[in-house]
Chain A
Amino acid sequence: MDRTESLPAPVRPDLVALLLSAAEAPPDWARTITPQARLDADLALDECELATLGSLLLECYGPVADLAALRGRLDLEQLAELTVADLQRELLPPGATGPGPATATATAVTVGGADR
């Protein structure tokens, strides 16, 4: 990942919405979605939730937002360090906001998401 920017951009609301959906999380979980948050260690997304996120990204932004292809190029170390900012920079088309959470439909069969 190219991390030459000094300050990562704030996380776009459309990406936050997709992460909330993939994680089956309530709105207040959005507080944990910072640019520096790692998908693995900080957001604790497992492989199935990441697959769901990948499907949502493709659905919203098309083939340019291919999370599976991005992760498929990384080694274990890089995968562990992959952040929300990396996703935003590598996958989200600049300026586009996507269709947003209204059409984001998680594919995982999950109930009772985060409501701690």
Chain B
Amino acid sequence: MSRFLIVVPPLAGHVLPAAGIGRELAARGHRVAWAGSEAVLRPLLGPEAEVLGTGSRLLRPQGGHGLAALRSLWEKFIVPYARFTEKALDRAVLEFRPDVVLVDQHTPAGAIAAHRHGIAWASLAPGAMELGRPFRALPQVERWMLDHLGGLWQRAGLPAAGFTDPRFSPELVLALTGPALTGPDPFPEHFALVGPVLTDRPAVPGFPWDRLEPGRRRILLTMGTLADGVSADFHRRALRAVELCGTGPDRPQLVVAAAPELLPGLPPDAVALERVPILELLRRGQVDAVLCHGGMNTVGESLSHGVPVVAAPIRHDQPFVAAQLAASGAGLRVPFPRVGPPGLAVALRRALEDPGLRAAAVRVGGSLRANGGAGAAVDRLEALAPGSAAGIPLV
């Protein structure tokens, strides 16, 4: 048995897949602890989880899109959150004495703490943000990111000469995608593309399963947990687009992951809740098409269940994921700021009715599943632990 510490940011989309990996580790008899905001982690991980709290502070990447969103992500979230948690993470590593630390790419302070104490660490890339170096054509932007990370490294008192990019463990980078989406370009040996994590999630209490009408086609609309500020107008266009997709029982039923008060004009038969059990809906075969922001979790999970996706990317890695989706043939990309109801209706009808798109979703989804998910991730993590056949001893 080994001890694994998982460091995650206070963002549900990052915690949920990591939780699946944590559960798989625990199922294999390992001891798992979490480091992060207890206020966010506890409801997502349940009462039994061992959480080493780092304190809570309302730090969230702000809205917007494009370069403003990128700047906000780094300057309003990644860097200040790393500074806020650095001491607590250092304590967590000392107290828990993990054999391996699994660190989300958005929490570089976790990697720095592990490095400082000579503990093996792996990176978790829940999106495509850094995976394929999407900004490699903009060297000054890459330099700007590295300068931020170098500042955190220096602040931790580590020698500049030994700088290691805390987003990329030199030993293991786990990515929740697969070659069916990323394409044929090879990654380094220590990158493990394990596909989406599809293990069970905590139930969403109060979801009205009885309101899902049998025999109706259904569209799931989810624009991510941080997009409220920019999604209102898109939601309006999406509702109108679904109206254009049919009349009477031929019109698809909508399930929306958003508070109903944010959705004026919501049809009476639609189901709208702030939190929707997406994975469970997909698993029960209750979704025929997904309209989303191109987040890696939603895209991977939908395709893994053979459901075509229409992606309207807003920011960060979403345009890249949407482009990969479109290139795979398993979904369509629409321009979030510009697509109108008629164009969106065309895309949704294709996602619902085009057999070629559905066949591609099944094919790509099968390939993503074959990457192994949480099981494959844990195989690789176990190999990092000291004492394993491939383990690396503590420094």
Q: List chain A positions with a Cβ less than 8 A from chain B.
A: 23-25, 29, 40-41, 44-49, 68, 71-76, 79-80, 108-116
Q: Which 5 A-B pairs have the closest CB atoms?
A: A112-B343, A114-B338, A116-B340, A109-B326, A115-B340
User: Can you list, as one digit per residue, whether each of B70-97 has a CB less than 8 Å from chain A (1) or not (0)?
Assistant: 1100000000000000000000000000
Q: A46-B313, A72-B139, A112-B347 are in contact. List 8 more A-B contacts (CB 8 A).
A: A40-B68, A44-B65, A49-B319, A109-B332, A111-B333, A111-B350, A112-B332, A113-B339
Contacts of A71 in B (CB 8 A): 137-138
Rounded to whole Å, the gap between the CB of A69 and the closest CB of chain B is 9
Q: A29-B338, A116-B338 are in contact. Are A108 and B333 (CB under 8 A)?
A: yes
Q: A47-B319, A80-B68 are in contact. Are A114 and B335 (CB under 8 A)?
A: yes
User: Can you list, as one digit per residue, whether each of B315-348 has a CB less than 8 Å from chain A (1) or not (0)?
Assistant: 1000110110011000011111111111111110
| In the complex, number of A-B residue pairs with CB atoms less than 8 Å apart | 110
- A25 to B338, alpha carbons, bound, how many Å? 7
Interface residue B55 (Cβ < 8 Å from any Cβ of A): no
Asked whether, in the complex, the Cβ of B66 is within 8 Å of the Cβ of A44, the reply is: yes
Contacts of B71 in A (CB 8 A): 76, 80
Rounded to whole Å, the gap between the CB of B311 and the closest CB of chain A is 10
Asked whether, in the complex, the Cβ of B326 is within 8 Å of the Cβ of A108, the reply is: yes
**Which of A23, A46, A73 sits near B66, CB closer than 8 Å?**
A46
Rounded to whole Å, the gap between the CB of B214 and the closest CB of chain A is 29
- A29 to B141, alpha carbons, bound, how many Å? 29
Asked whether, in the complex, the Cβ of B338 is within 8 Å of the Cβ of A110, the reply is: no
B140 to chain A: closest residue by CB: A75
Contacts of A46 in B (CB 8 A): 65-66, 313, 315, 319
Contacts of B118 in A (CB 8 A): none
- A48 to B335, alpha carbons, bound, how many Å? 11
Asked whether, in the complex, the Cβ of A76 is within 8 Å of the Cβ of B323, the reply is: no
Contacts of B339 in A (CB 8 A): 112-116
Rounded to whole Å, the gap between the CB of A43 and the closest CB of chain B is 9
Asked whether, in the complex, the Cβ of A49 is within 8 Å of the Cβ of B335, the reply is: yes
Asked whether, in the complex, the Cβ of B140 is within 8 Å of the Cβ of A74, the reply is: yes
B70 to chain A: closest residue by CB: A76
Rounded to whole Å, the gap between the CB of A112 and the closest CB of chain B is 3
Asked whether, in the complex, the Cβ of B323 is within 8 Å of the Cβ of A108, the reply is: yes
- A80 to B144, alpha carbons, bound, how many Å? 14
Q: A48-B320, A72-B139 are in contact. Are A24 and B67 (CB under 8 A)?
A: no
Asked whether, in the complex, the Cβ of A76 is within 8 Å of the Cβ of B335, the reply is: no
Asked whether, in the complex, the Cβ of B141 is within 8 Å of the Cβ of A76, the reply is: yes
Asked whether, in the complex, the Cβ of A111 is within 8 Å of the Cβ of B327, the reply is: no
Rounded to whole Å, the gap between the CB of B361 and the closest CB of chain A is 15
Contacts of B344 in A (CB 8 A): 112
User: Can you list, as one digit per residue, whether each of B176-196 has a CB less than 8 Å from chain A (1) or not (0)?
Assistant: 000000000000000000000
